[in-house]
Amino acid sequence: MLKYQQIATEIEKYIEDNKLQQGNKLPVLETLMAQFAASKSTITKALDLLEKKGVVYQVRGSGIFVRRHKRKGYISLLSNQGFKKELEGFHITSEVIELDVRKPTEEAAYNLNMNVEDDVYYVKRVQYMNKKTLCLEESFYNKSIITYLNNEIVSDSIFKYINEGLGLKVGFSDMFLQVNKINEEEAKYLGLETGAPGLYIETIYHLTNGQSFDFSKLTYNYEQSQFFIQANSHFL
Amino acid sequence: MLKYQQIATEIEKYIEDNKLQQGNKLPVLETLMAQFAASKSTITKALDLLEKKGVVYQVRGSGIFVRRHKRKGYISLLSNQGFKKELEGFHITSEVIELDVRKPTEEAAYNLNMNVEDDVYYVKRVQYMNKKTLCLEESFYNKSIITYLNNEIVSDSIFKYINEGLGLKVGFSDMFLQVNKINEEEAKYLGLETGAPGLYIETIYHLTNGQSFDFSKLTYNYEQSQFFIQANSHFL
DNA sequence: CAGTGGTCTAGACCACCCA
DNA sequence: GGGTGGTCTAGACCACTGA
C-alpha cells in the first residue's frame, strides 16, 4: 500500500476511534508530517484523498476539519459499487433469477462498446436489504473481460469477485438516473403495485484502463431507496 | 487564476475545440510540461482536477484519455449547484412564490446548525426548464451569512449572486435523495396528479470554511428529471 | 525494455484566517 | 503578524503497459 493511502487510512481511523464530529479540527500539517515521517506533499495528498471521499475539508489559513454529516438509513449512492454497502451496516442479499451467456441487446452493446455478435454474461437478480426488496437488477458483463461467472459468485458480491478473483481494478463509472412508474414485471419482483414510483438507474462501469465491462440497469423499490451523495465544488 | 487551474481550463478547451471523443489520447506529460512551461507536479495537479470533474482518466504506463460518456438531455446532478445548468444548454427560469425573512423550522435550524430564534431567508420557487416545470424548491438561507436577498436576485440565479454579489465561495454540499409519491401541493405546482412519482432531494450547502448557509428541499417533476453522475473509485 | 504515468522529497514562496 | 494551508519547482526513483 502506498504511503499516502496508508496515511489516509490511519487518519480516517483516528477520526473514527476518537469519534470526532463535524467541524472538529485535526492536527496541523507540521504535526502530521512529523507523526507520519512524510513530506508536506505526501500529507497533502493523503488529505486530498480524504477530501474527495468526503471525510474532511481543508480551510486555508485555518485548519483541517472533519466532515461527517451523514444520516442514518441513507446509502451512499457513489460508494454503492458492488460490495461497499455491507460496510455501512446494511445487510444485502441477492436472489438470482437468470444467469446465462448470450448476445447483448443493441443498447447493452452500445454502452459496453462491443459488437452485438460478442458474448456477454447476463445476470438478473433481486437484491434484498434487511430482508426487504431493495431493487431489481439486470446486468450485462463483457465476457471477454469477465471471463467466468457462476451462480455462487452471482449470489454473493460480483464486484468482490472481479477485484479479488479476477484481479481487475474498477476505475470509474457513469450513472444515469430517472424516476418512473414501474411496470408489471418490476412490480412483481419488488412486491409493489404496477405504476408505483421507481428509481431507475443505469450504470456503466469501467476498469482503470477505461474499458467498460459492466452495463447494469437497476430499479429501486422507492420505499427502501434513501441515498446520500457528498459533492465538492471543483465545479465552480 | 492559479497556474494548474489555468492549465486545466486550457486542456479542457483543447478537448472541446478538437472535439475529442471518449478514449482519445492526450499529449504525454512531457509535452504538456513543455507546452505550459510547468513542472510535472503542476501538470499532474491540473490533470487530477480534470479527473475529478470526469473529463479525463489517467492510465499509468499508457497515457491520458478523454472521458465523455454523457447522454443528451441528462442534467449533471452534482454540478447542479445553482447556475451550472445554464452552461449545459438547458434554459432554466424561476417563478418566485414566496420570499420573506422568518424563523427556521426545527428541521432547517438543525441542518443549518443555527438556533430557531435566528433569522433565515425563506424562498419558495418553481423552476422551469425549456418551459416545462422542472421542480418545486423550498430553501432556507442563514441570514447572518446571506445578509440580503430580493425578488430580482431570487428570480435569477441565487448562487451566482452569492458568488459574485456577496463574494462567498461555496465549498461542498451534502445531498439526500428519495423517491416518493408527491402530495397535493407539489402536484399543483408541478402540473401533475397527486400520487405521481417524485424525486425528492434535500441539500445542505457549505461555504469553503465549512459553514452551512443553505438548506434546500426540492421535488422534481419525474417527467423532466434525468440526471447523470460521474463517479471515481477512490472508494475501493 | 522503452515509454509513460505515479510517488515522494525538500524547500522556497504565496495566500488566507484570525486575534 | 503569527499560524496555517496551498502552490510550484527540480529531480530521484518506482510501477505499470504494450510492442
Per-residue pLDDT tens for A164-218? 889 999 999 999 999 999 999 999 999 999 999 999 999 999 999 999 999 999 9
Count: domains in chain B: 2
Q: Any idea what DSSP says for residue B25?
A: B
* Contact assessment for residue A54 and residue B204, using Cβ atoms and an 8 Å cutoff: no
Is residue A51 located within the same domain as residue A101?
no
Round to whole Å and give the CA distance between B167 and B148.
Answer: 13
Q: Is residue B103 part of a domain?
A: yes
Point out the least confidently predicted range of A4-13, A139-148, B95-104, B126-135.
B126-135
Q: Of the candidates A31, A66, A101, which is a domain's last residue?
A: A66
Q: How many helices (H) and strands (E) does chain A have?
A: 7, 10
Q: Name the burial class of residue A213, with classes exposed (0-12), middle (13-18) and buried (19+) by CB atoms within 10 angstroms of its CB.
A: buried
The spacing between the Cα labelled CA in A26 and the C1' in C10, in angstroms, equals 24
Is residue B141 located within the same domain as residue B191?
yes
Q: Is residue B235 part of a domain?
A: no
Is residue B55 located within the same domain as residue B95?
no
Q: Is residue A45 part of a domain?
A: yes
Residue B90, pLDDT above cutoff 90: no
* Contact assessment for residue B77 and residue B229, using Cβ atoms and an 8 Å cutoff: yes
Going by C-alpha positions, the residue among B134, B123, B1 that lies closest to residue B80 is: B134
Q: Is residue A236 part of a domain?
A: no
Distance from CA of A201 to the nearest CA of B (A): 9
User: Residue with C-alpha cell 455491507?
Assistant: A86
Backbone angles phi, psi at B39, to 5 degrees: -80, 165
The spacing between the Cα labelled CA in A16 and the C1' in D16, in angstroms, equals 34
Point out the least confidently predicted range of A101-115, B11-25, B37-51, B81-95.
B81-95
Is residue B21 located within the same domain as residue B82?
no
Can you list the alpha helix ranges (DSSP code H) found in B37-183? Answer: 40-52, 106-112, 151-155, 158-160
Going by C-alpha positions, the residue among A148, A168, A151 that lies closest to residue A160 is: A168
- Three cell numbers, residue B155: 428570480
* Contact assessment for residue B179 and residue B196, using Cβ atoms and an 8 Å cutoff: no
Residue A66, pLDDT above cutoff 90: yes
Q: Is residue B217 part of a domain?
A: yes
- In the beta sheet, which residues pair with residue A58? A64
Round to whole Å and give the CA distance between A8 and A56.
Answer: 11
What per-residue confidence (pLDDT) applies to B236? 60
In CATH, what number is assigned to the domain containing residue A39?
1.10.10.10
Residues of B in contact with A225 (CB under 8 A): 177-179
Is residue A95 located within the same domain as residue A206?
yes
Is residue B113 located within the same domain as residue B216?
yes
Nearest by CB to A197, from B180, B229, B236: name it: B180
Is residue A85 located within the same domain as residue A44?
no
Q: Is residue A32 part of a domain?
A: yes
Is residue A199 located within the same domain as residue A108?
yes
Round to whole Å and give the CA distance between A227 and B77.
Answer: 13
Is residue B84 located within the same domain as residue B164?
yes
Residue A79, pLDDT above cutoff 80: no
Show the beta-strand stretches assigned E in B79-129: 92-102, 120-129
* Nucleotide nearest residue A60, measured CA to C1': D5
Residues of B in contact with A169 (CB under 8 A): 233, 236
Summarised one tens digit per residue, pLDDT across range A90-134 is 788 899 999 999 999 999 999 999 999 999 999 999 999 988 999
Using the beta-carbon criterion (under 8 Å), do A235 and B81 form an inter-chain contact? yes
Distance from CA of B31 to the nearest CA of A (A): 21
Going by C-alpha positions, the residue among B198, B131, B124, B121 that lies closest to residue B166 is: B121
Q: Is residue B178 part of a domain?
A: yes
Q: Of the candidates A42, A66, A90, which is a domain's last residue?
A: A66
- By residue range, what is the domain housing residue B12? 3-66
Average per-residue pLDDT for chain B: 92
Residues of A in contact with B234 (CB under 8 A): 49, 52-53
In CATH, what number is assigned to the domain containing residue A208?
3.40.1410.10
Round to whole Å and give the CA distance between A222 and A187.
Answer: 11
- Indicate the residue type of B194: T
Is residue B60 located within the same domain as residue B90?
no
Backbone angles phi, psi at B93, to 5 degrees: -130, 160
Q: Is residue B234 part of a domain?
A: no
Substitution target from B40, B177, B199, B220 for chain A, most A beta carbons within 10 A: B177
Residue A67, pLDDT above cutoff 60: yes
Is residue A129 located within the same domain as residue A193?
yes
What per-residue confidence (pLDDT) applies to A22? 93
Is residue A51 located within the same domain as residue A90?
no
* Contact assessment for residue B91 and residue B97, using Cβ atoms and an 8 Å cutoff: no
| CB-proximal positions of chain D, under 7 Å | 2-12, 15-18
